[in-house]
Amino acid sequence: MKIAIVGAGSWGTSFGRYLSLQGHDVSVYGRNPEKIALINQSRKNEQYLPGIELPQNLRFFSEIEPVIEGAQLLFNAISSQYIRKQYAEFAGKIPADIPIINLSKGIELTSLKLIHQVFAEILPDNPYAALSGPSHAEEVAIDMPTTLVVASLDDELNHQIQNLSSRTIRIYRSNDLLGVEIGGALKNIIALAVGVSDGVGFGDNTQAAIMTRGMAEIMRMGSALGANTETFLGLSGFGDLIVTCTSHHSRNRRCGILIGQGLSVQQASEQVGMVVEGIRTMEAAYALAQQMGIEMPLTQALYDIIHEGASVSETITELMERDFKQEFNL
């Protein structure tokens, strides 16, 4: 197939490499003409995937027209906070018959909408799917076995994306688009919290506690928004949560570690060197929880630490001394 990818960062490049190696004709759009020219010349994206050789049938452009010309699928790989602005620039250039498959994860801060809701506003006629799960670009780029889940209300599109599976990537199907996107977005918040805990020197017990109670918050918000809670036991739920909270590849966990060590959010984000989706997603989830009356103590604690200057140790103590409750009273 002819496949378009919007976003020449780590995941767009890595997934583009994967699709190219499966024999597809893949074109990637990136905003920076100098960086795009360097990638095409060197056949490497050293900024995001150092040392990884890129196939010759994976081409990069700084204009959208040659990327989408004749494309049968369009994968979005730009971060959630920039989707609306970026696709507004493409207005009238993306045909309505090209399915959009979203690879990014988050909640739009300005509207508190999930990504499928954003695309429903900006490209309402295009079929849509979300492809999510535990999938660090750095490992996909070296062909480590990876499992993903595709979620769409269009069952034919679900099957089409599932057929992109290979010996290195196995794709499952889901019709719970809402749940898959909620899990993919909120796990970044919990990874930030785990990172903060690691940064101040807490151990495995604390990490496990944050991950487990973090999943309770994800399920609580998911249930309130109408998702199938069973979805959070799968790849876009616990699967993605585990990898993002424990891996050294996780930019959200790394950012949290630096915050726990005393750096500001800006300093930590600059040191990570890539977009840290969990920061804006945390702000959006906090606002949404306040709006809907959803109890999310870990998200609240993280908000207090990052935006209110709360002490990490005092915040942890407050969490530990909350009123007693049953574990599964979601």
* Active-site residue set: 187
- DSSP code string of 284-327: HHHHHHHHHT---HHHHHHHHHHHS---HHHHHHHHHTSPP--T
Amino acid (1-letter code) at residue 13: T
Asked if 161 contacts 171 with a C-beta cutoff of 8 angstroms, the reply is yes
In angstroms, the CA 212 to CA 192 distance is 14
293's CB contacts (< 8 A; 6+ apart) are none
Among 242, 224, 225, CA closest to 234: 242
Alpha helices in 91-239 (DSSP H): 115-122, 137-140, 155-162, 177-199, 204-225
Among 205, 212, 218, CA closest to 299: 218
DSSP 203: -
